[in-house]
Homo-oligomer: A and B are copies of this chain.
Amino acid sequence: MERSGSGSSAGAGREGQGEAVDFRPLYRQVYHTLLRRLADAVWQPGQMLPSESQLASELGVSQGTVRKALDALTADSLLVRRQGRGTFAAEHDDKQSVFRFFKLRSDCEDSAAPQSRVVAIAEASASADERDRLALVRTARVVRIERLRSLDDKPCLIETIAVPLTLFPGLAAMDLPNTLYSLYANRFGITIAIAKERLKAVVLPRREADLLEVAEGKPAIEIDRVAFDLEERPVEWRLSTCITDSVHYLSVLR
């Protein structure tokens, strides 16, 4: 593989005829090559990748360059590396990973994983908001899920989830696990890589109050979240309303 200044061949997987020049550093090219394979589920979550030296010889770069790409993917939570064992595609269903995208914490001490109860689930035409958040065309359809979530057996959050039907066919008929994102990964090959949340203070509406079994009119936090996959496509919109009597929203700034 030639140097990037005038080189090409983009870290393997490229046809030799295009002559396209890739100016990214080699290890970034390798990063994206491996990212593509993860997105294409070449390696299922939990599965072991080839060793550094195997990848290096396959891609025609040095082991150190492969390592740099693997380290970057690990930093992005897409791989897990363990000395003496190997490198694995990340699984997102253990306790640590649940709390990665669930920022509510008990005020007291460590809480168990949040529990979920599905209130409603259906397929429907995408609303204007859903089309906006998920970048959908006017005729698109979505799967819409309403869930009640509890922490330490106390209901604290009611959420409405919308995902494009084209990406998640048959989802509405499935048994939903507590951790929806592991279902996305295992059954639909879609890995959530990043989510952006916008929080606002609101007055708890009647319907949400009933479901949460508290008085209406209480202050609550509304969380508007869009989740993106490995290729930064918006794949899920989630609008949550939560009360903070015995829980809080945790945010760590670095």
Q: Which residues of A contact B (CB under 8 A)?
A: 76-77, 100-101, 103, 105, 193-203, 218-221, 224, 242-244, 248-254
Residues of chain B within 8 A of A77, CB atoms compared: 254
Could you tell me the dominant secondary structure of chain A's interface residues?
strand
* Nearest residue, chain B, Cβ from A247: B200
Closest Cβ–Cβ distance, residue A2 to chain B (whole Å):
21
Check A198 against B103 for contact (C-beta < 8 Å). Answer: no
Given A77-B254, A221-B221, A254-B194, A199 contacting B100 (CB threshold 8 A): no
Check A253 against B198 for contact (C-beta < 8 Å). Answer: no
Residues of chain B within 8 A of A202, CB atoms compared: 201, 219
Residues of chain B within 8 A of A198, CB atoms compared: 105, 248-251
* Nearest residue, chain B, Cβ from A254: B194
Residues of chain B within 8 A of A218, CB atoms compared: 201
Check B253 against A199 for contact (C-beta < 8 Å). Answer: no
